[in-house]
């Protein structure tokens, strides 16, 4: 029954077979419908794990463990996808992937691309950010799939206008095995990992595996180190012989990263638009002078500590900590001959802050004294005349509950239906409890004075403690969806029609005073010195600045998002496909806390509407003998684009819709294996975009020569930032002798704009990587190997992630110096694995 349903839903070219470990979709239900392995009569299932035979009616790229095993151990899977996926440009912040990175998929940033793990959403429920350094170790990933511009109908996401990236972990094998491995490399890289699985045990054939890793290395630029440890596990219980099962997976990750400083990009204003002078800027210094040890100079009179502002950049205080974990359940049950039920519950936990957060605090600060006149001796020197550097974190503690469930009904051999329900509820507690910095210039606690961690700095009135934010939010997604799939014309024509209806709610609870027209808050027990007619208050210490009292508010959003797909098989090896899909990205929690007092006396939030995208795709696939080829053209209409812009009526900066972006492009990939020893892969992607409107960034400045009103910048007709027109990648892999395999891969990334008005860009670059693996099986050591990896072989200087700005023209509205992360230099890693 399971096999028949999967074949029916997938419209495979010839034949269909379920795979135990190759889940390539998001939820269990979508995996059940999309799972396809093409038989040898029409071509290979995969070419070296670099490209996989696809038959779904949408653009999709899948890489498998076979390819991931050739990459640097411990590297984020996003970097491995970046090497091969047309349309994806991921810029890694360091050579080993544990400092995060930036996603660009067909011009959309990572906050607009849904990232899932075994069907659960990983994007932050508040701001939709993707934290690529917190993903599972690559050794336990079975496959990863990129859908460019489309989602499954049960996708549990509120941010997917740019497409989806889904990761599937290994299903425990029936055969027991184990391995341990150690890696060493450039920048004192050390990584140790171990894996063990039981095989089928006990009276019910229960299977499970567990894996753990420890990683530590120095930053490649500047002082400091990167540290990560991780545990992954999965237990799988088959239920009978019909494909029913229950599984539970767990993941826990701890990161402690000293932050990188990147250069501000500079250029001559006389030659704008212009490329950054990459040859002479960004690589000459190592920022060690910026990270000089903390110094303090006593004042001429008294003993006030005049701590230099540069000390805030001391590397020991620039630490980004995170503790993240999740539990992922999956299950499938046959209900009679015609129905299948899938139930996927989940729980996620996050405790993290952005790091590098410290400030100078006077012992006589009104906010520190609170509703009293009592100063606080922060440094314990017996007086209250000092200004002391303290930690002021912005902690986010999230508990997130999820459920994705579907009922699949097989009407007959050619028609099936699915209805699904999705729940995603995230409870955010965002706080900023001040705490102390030790005498050796380290934080007393990574998370400041949060309960159970460091000591809080208690205010002078004894009623409260110093904090820079204090709010609680709940983000709830309830979604229903339905889908039909059918086969016609002797099974040559496949049709899928689906719709999802998300109902989204954000509950906002602000426990601090909010500065009117700003996201700035004052968390204090001070007594306001005045209450104004509009309901706002002022404080003696802040003059005439108006604040809105603590408040609660609920905002709701909903939509109906259809998707349609068609694919048609002609001949024995060819198929064409086309699809239309709509997606949405909803307003983000942090930005909704920017509030202002309305004329009627109520508290106003941004009235921004959800972003939406409409994507059209069409393509051709060819699969024969040793060849897998796919090419597609796509076009996306991106509406209600959200940016932070100036609101003239209320004289504030808020998130608002500023218009549309039109995008289109072409993607192609080719995998070719002329013999069993050689695998080759080539991909190319062309991307074009056009912003449809100008943006008002506020102020009185006039953009020179643009003919626009004050405060506007000429973004109309410009292209999206950080998005190369052209990317090209290739990989060759060859077994030189028995047991020895060599691989080489390269990627070209075209020039990218660093400003919204396109007056500053960074140039194109090519990176080249090598890998070699020698298996030790012929010496009697099964599943054992020695592996060498070299990234950026030719030590190319290039910029990775870009912190783009509105404009690079001094004096123009939105002017700012864009900054960039310097790309990692040549890095060598050696790994020894011993299998059992």
DSSP 5-68: HHHHHHT-SS-----SS---SSSHHHHHHH-----TTT--SEETTTEE---SSS-EEEEEHHHH
Residue 111: the pLDDT is 85
CATH number assigned to the domain comprising residue 505: 2.40.170.20
DSSP 362-393: ETT-HHHH-SSS----SS-SS-S--EEEEE--
Instruction: Indicate if 157 and 290 belong to the same structural domain.
Output: yes
Instruction: Indicate if 527 and 671 belong to the same structural domain.
Output: no
Instruction: Indicate if 788 and 736 belong to the same structural domain.
Output: yes
Q: What is the mean pLDDT of residues 26-38?
A: 62
Task: Using CB atoms within 10 Å of the CB of residue 834, give its burial: 0 to 12 exposed, 13 to 18 middle, 19+ buried.
Answer: middle
116-135, pLDDT tens digit by residue?
999 999 998 888 888 999 99
Of the chain, the percentage scoring pLDDT greater than 70 comes to 88
Residue 354: the pLDDT is 78
Residue 304: the pLDDT is 59
Q: Is the model's pLDDT at 649 over the cut of 70? A: no
Residue 296 neighbours by CB under 8 Å, 6+ apart: 305, 306, 307, 308, 311
Residue 763: the pLDDT is 87
Span of 181-195, 230-244, 288-302, 715-729 with lowest mean pLDDT? 288-302
pLDDT confidence of 639, banded at 50, 70, 90? confident
Choose among 265, 279, 263: nearest CA to 808.
Answer: 265
138-157, pLDDT tens digit by residue?
999 999 999 886 777 777 77
Q: What is the mean pLDDT of residues 243-250?
A: 96
HEC readout, 736-760: EECCEEEEEEEEEECCEECECCCCE
Q: Is the model's pLDDT at 39 over the cut of 50? A: no
Pick the last residue of a domain from 547, 563, 595. 547
Report how far residue 824's alpha carbon sits from residue 487's, in angstroms, rounded to the nearest whole number.
49
Q: Is the model's pLDDT at 664 over the cut of 50? A: yes
Of the chain, the percentage scoring pLDDT greater than 90 comes to 58
Highest mean pLDDT among 88-97, 739-748, 760-769, 793-802: 739-748
Higher pLDDT, 830 or 815: 830
- Please give the DSSP secondary-structure letter assigned to residue 448: T
Q: What is the mean pLDDT of residues 83-106?
A: 91
Residue 25: the pLDDT is 52
| Paired residues of 358 in beta bridges | 391
Query: Are 25 and 33 in contact, with CB atoms under 8 Å apart?
Result: yes
Report how far residue 134's alpha carbon sits from residue 326's, in angstroms, rounded to the nearest whole number.
11
Report how far residue 232's alpha carbon sits from residue 77's, in angstroms, rounded to the nearest whole number.
15
Residue 300: the pLDDT is 42
Q: What is the mean pLDDT of residues 532-557?
A: 93
Helix (H) / strand (E) element for 212: namely: strand 207-218
Instruction: Indicate if 134 and 18 belong to the same structural domain.
Output: yes
Instruction: Indicate if 742 and 643 belong to the same structural domain.
Output: yes
Instruction: Indicate if 482 and 532 belong to the same structural domain.
Output: no
Residue 12: the pLDDT is 28
307-338, pLDDT tens digit by residue?
777 677 788 888 899 999 999 999 999 998 89
Report how far residue 223's alpha carbon sits from residue 476's, in angstroms, rounded to the nearest whole number.
41
Q: What is the mean pLDDT of residues 368-377?
A: 92
For residue 77, report the phi and psi dihedrals to the nearest 5 degrees.
-65, -25
For residue 112, report the phi and psi dihedrals to the nearest 5 degrees.
-110, 10
Q: Return the ∠ at Cα 792 (arms to 786 and 793), rounded to 5°.
A: 70
Instruction: Indicate if 519 and 646 belong to the same structural domain.
Output: no
Six-digit token pair at 784? 């054992």
pLDDT confidence of 19, banded at 50, 70, 90? very low
Residue 420: the pLDDT is 95
pTM over 0.85: yes
Choose among 742, 745, 743: nearest CA to 729.
Answer: 745
Helix (H) / strand (E) element for 185: namely: strand 177-185
432-484, pLDDT tens digit by residue?
999 998 877 888 999 999 998 999 999 999 889 999 999 999 999 999 999 99
Instruction: Indicate if 615 and 646 belong to the same structural domain.
Output: yes
Six-digit token pair at 332? 């499938």
Q: Is the model's pLDDT at 601 over the cut of 80? A: yes
- Please give the DSSP secondary-structure letter assigned to residue 294: P
Residue 656: the pLDDT is 52
Span of 2-16, 333-347, 515-529, 569-583 with lowest mean pLDDT? 2-16
Six-digit token pair at 544? 């005439």
Higher pLDDT, 46 or 387: 387
42-79, pLDDT tens digit by residue?
445 788 778 888 877 888 888 999 999 999 998 999 99
Our count of domains for the chain comes to 2
Q: What is the mean pLDDT of residues 73-87?
A: 92
Instruction: Indicate if 519 and 632 belong to the same structural domain.
Output: no
Q: Is the model's pLDDT at 676 over the cut of 60? A: yes
Instruction: Indicate if 711 and 788 belong to the same structural domain.
Output: yes
To the nearest whole number, what is the mean pLDDT of the chain?
86
Q: Give me the domain span that covers residue 531.
A: 514-547
738-778, pLDDT tens digit by residue?
999 999 999 999 999 988 899 888 889 999 999 999 999 88
Residue 298: the pLDDT is 52
Instruction: Indicate if 433 and 470 belong to the same structural domain.
Output: yes
Instruction: Indicate if 528 and 589 belong to the same structural domain.
Output: no
């Amino acid at each position: 029954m399971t096999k028949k349903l999967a074949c029916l839903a997938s419209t495979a070219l010839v034949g269909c077979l379920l795979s135990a470990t190759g889940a390539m979709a998001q939820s269990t239900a979508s995996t059940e419908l999309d799972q396809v392995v093409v038989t040898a009569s029409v071509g290979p299932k995969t070419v070296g794990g670099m490209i996989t035979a696809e038959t779904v009616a949408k653009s999709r790229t899948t890489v498998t463990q076979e390819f991931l095993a050739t990459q640097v151990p411990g590297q984020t899977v996003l970097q491995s996808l970046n090497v091969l996926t047309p349309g994806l440009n991921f810029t890694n912040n360091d050579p080993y992937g544990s400092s995060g990175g930036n996603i660009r998929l067909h011009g959309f940033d990572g906050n607009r691309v849904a990232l899932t793990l075994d069907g659960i959403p990983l994007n932050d429920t508040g701001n939709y950010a993707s934290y690529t350094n917190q993903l599972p170790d690559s050794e336990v990933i079975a496959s990863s799939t990129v859908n460019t511009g489309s989602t499954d109908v049960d996708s549990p996401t509120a941010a997917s206008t740019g497409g989806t990236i889904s990761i599937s972990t290994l299903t425990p094998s029936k055969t027991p095995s184990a391995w341990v491995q150690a890696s060493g490399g450039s920048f004192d890289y050390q990584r140790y990992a171990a894996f063990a699985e039981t095989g089928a045990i006990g009276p019910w054939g229960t299977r499970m595996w567990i894996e753990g890793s420890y990683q530590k290395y120095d930053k490649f630029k500047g002082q400091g180190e990167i540290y990560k440890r991780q545990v992954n596990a999965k237990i799988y219980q088959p239920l009978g012989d019909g494909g029913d099962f229950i599984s539970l997976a767990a993941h826990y990750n701890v990161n402690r990263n000293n932050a990188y400083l990147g250069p501000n990009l500079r250029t001559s204003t006389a030659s704008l638009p212009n490329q950054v002078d990459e040859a002479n800027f960004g690589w000459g210094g190592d920022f060690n002078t910026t990270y000089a040890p903390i110094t303090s100079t006593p004042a001429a009179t008294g003993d006030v500590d005049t701590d230099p502002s540069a000390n805030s950049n001391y590397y020991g205080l620039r630490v980004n900590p995170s503790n993240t974990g999740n539990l992922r359940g999956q299950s499938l049950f046959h209900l009679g001959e015609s129905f299948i039920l899938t139930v996927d519950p989940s729980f996620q936990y996050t405790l993290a802050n952005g790091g590098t957060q410290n400030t100078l605090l006077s012992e006589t600060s009104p906010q520190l004294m609170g509703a009293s006149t009592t100063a606080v001796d922060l440094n314990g020197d017996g007086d209250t005349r000092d200004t002391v550097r303290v930690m002021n974190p912005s902690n986010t503690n999230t508990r997130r509950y999820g459920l994705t469930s579907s009922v699949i009904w097989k009407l007959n051999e050619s028609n099936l239906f699915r209805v699904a329900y999705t729940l995603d509820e995230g409870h955010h507690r965002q706080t900023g409890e001040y705490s102390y910095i030790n005498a050796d210039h380290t934080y007393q606690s990574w998370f400041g004075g949060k309960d159970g961690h460091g000591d809080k700095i208690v205010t002078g009135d004894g009623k409260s403690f110093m904090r820079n934010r204090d709010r609680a939010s709940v983000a709830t997604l309830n979604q229903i969806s339905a889908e039909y799939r059918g086969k016609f014309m002797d099974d040559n024509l496949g049709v899928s029609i689906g719709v999802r209806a998300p109902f989204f709610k954000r509950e906002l609870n602000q426990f601090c005073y909010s500065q009117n027209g700003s996201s700035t808050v004052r968390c204090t027990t001070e007594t306001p010195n005045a209450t104004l007619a509009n309901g706002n208050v002022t404080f003696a210490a802040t003059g005439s600045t108006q604040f809105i009292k603590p408040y609660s508010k609920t905002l709701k959003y909903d939509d109906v998002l259809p998707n349609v797909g068609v694919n048609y098989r002609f001949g024995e090896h060819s198929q064409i496909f086309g699809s239309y899909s709509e997606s949405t990205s909803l307003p983000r929690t942090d930005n909704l806390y920017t509030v202002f007092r309305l004329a009627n006396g109520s508290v106003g939030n941004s009235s921004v509407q959800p972003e939406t995208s409409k994507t059209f795709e069409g393509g051709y696939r060819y699969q024969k003998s040793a060849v897998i080829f796919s090419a597609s053209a796509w076009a996306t209409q991106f509406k209600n684009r959200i940016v932070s812009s100036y609101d003239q009526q209320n004289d504030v900066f808020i998130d608002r819709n500023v218009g549309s972006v039109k995008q289109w492009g072409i993607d192609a990939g080719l995998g070719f294996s002329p013999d069993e020893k050689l695998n080759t892969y080539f991909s190319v992607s062309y991307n074009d975009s056009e912003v449809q409107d100008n943006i008002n960034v506020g102020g009185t400045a006039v953009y020179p020569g643009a003919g626009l009103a004050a405060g506007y910048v000429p973004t109309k007709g410009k292209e999206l930032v950080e998005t190369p027109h052209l990317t090209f990648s290739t990989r060759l892999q060859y077994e030189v002798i028995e047991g020895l395999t060599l691989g080489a891969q390269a990627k070209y990334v075209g020039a990218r704009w660093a400003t919204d008005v396109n007056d500053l860009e960074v140039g194109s670059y090519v990176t080249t990587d090598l890998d070699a693996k020698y298996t030790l099986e012929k010496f009697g050591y099964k599943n054992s190997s020695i592996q060498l990896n070299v990234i950026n072989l030719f030590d190319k200087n290039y910029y990775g992630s870009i912190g783009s700005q509105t404009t690079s023209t001094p004096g123009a509205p939105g002017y700012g110096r864009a900054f960039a992360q310097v790309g990692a230099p040549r890095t060598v890693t050696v790994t020894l694995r011993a299998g059992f």
